[in-house]
Amino acid sequence: MRASRLVVAVIVGLLGLVWLGQGLGYIGGSFMTGSQFWATIGTLLLVVALAIVVLEARRGRRTTG
């Protein structure tokens, strides 16, 4: 597994969590608070982060096995 790709996945995942929290109204103080658009974008970012982690795990298993 490449550490750089996992770092990107973590950053994308954290950004997705924040945007999801703001979109759902759990994190206030922003124009994004309570907006379904940002909740959707946050969810998509979480899916992308998960996909990066899964692909890297498969790649790492394939090259070492």
Torsion sign (Cα): 61, 42, 44, 24: positive
Average pLDDT, the chain: 91
Helix or strand (DSSP H, E) at 8: helix 3-23
The domain segmentation of the chain, as residue ranges, is 3-60
Residue bearing the bigger pLDDT, 36 or 1:
36
Q: Do 45 and 32 form a contact (C-beta atoms < 8 A)? A: no
Tell me the pLDDT tens digit for each residue of 44-64.
999 999 999 999 988 877 665
